[in-house]
Amino acid sequence: MAKANQFIEEDQLGERIKKRDLDAFHELYKISFLPLQRYAMRYLYDWKQAEDLVQDAFLSLWDNLERYDEKQPVFYYMLGIIRNNCLNYLRDLDIHIKHQDKIIEAMLFSGIEDPEIDKDIHQRLKVILETLPEKQKEVVLLHIVEKKKIKEIAAEMNIAETTVKTHFKRAMAILRHNLKFVLFGIPCI
Rounded Cα distance, 158 and 164, in Å: 10
136 vs 129: CA distance, rounded Å: 10
Q: What angle is formed at CA 182 by the lines to CA 72 and CA 73, rounded to 5 degrees?
A: 10
Instruction: State the pLDDT at residue 5.
Output: 53
> Any long-range contacts for 133-140 (C-beta under 8 Å, 24+ apart)?
133/171, 135/167, 136/167, 136/168, 136/170, 136/171, 136/174, 137/171, 138/167, 139/164, 139/167, 139/168, 139/171, 140/167, 140/168, 140/171, 140/172, 140/175
Residue 92 to residues 50, 85, 103, 153, Cα–Cα distance (Å):
15, 10, 15, 35
Domain boundaries, the chain: 2-92, 118-183
Say what the pLDDT of residue 54 is. 95
Report d(CA 79, CA 124) in Å as an integer.
21
pLDDT of residue 85: 92
Decide which of 3.40.50.2300, 1.10.10.10, 1.20.59.10, 3.40.718.10 is the CATH code for 118-183.
Answer: 1.10.10.10
- Residue 108 pLDDT: 59
Looking at the chain, list the stretches that DSSP marks H as alpha helix, in order from N- to C-terminal side. Answer: 2-10, 13-18, 22-44, 47-63, 74-92, 100-109, 119-130, 134-140, 150-157, 161-183
Amino acid at 61: L
CATH for the 2-92 domain, from 1.10.1740.10, 3.40.50.720, 1.10.357.10, 3.40.50.2300: 1.10.1740.10
Residue 60: alpha-carbon gap to chain centroid: 19
- Per-residue pLDDT tens digits of the chain, which is 189 residues long: 445 455 444 457 888 899 999 999 999 999 999 999 999 988 887 888 899 999 999 999 999 999 998 888 899 999 999 999 988 887 776 554 555 556 556 665 555 555 555 565 667 677 878 888 999 989 988 887 788 899 999 999 999 999 999 998 888 888 777 766 545 444 443
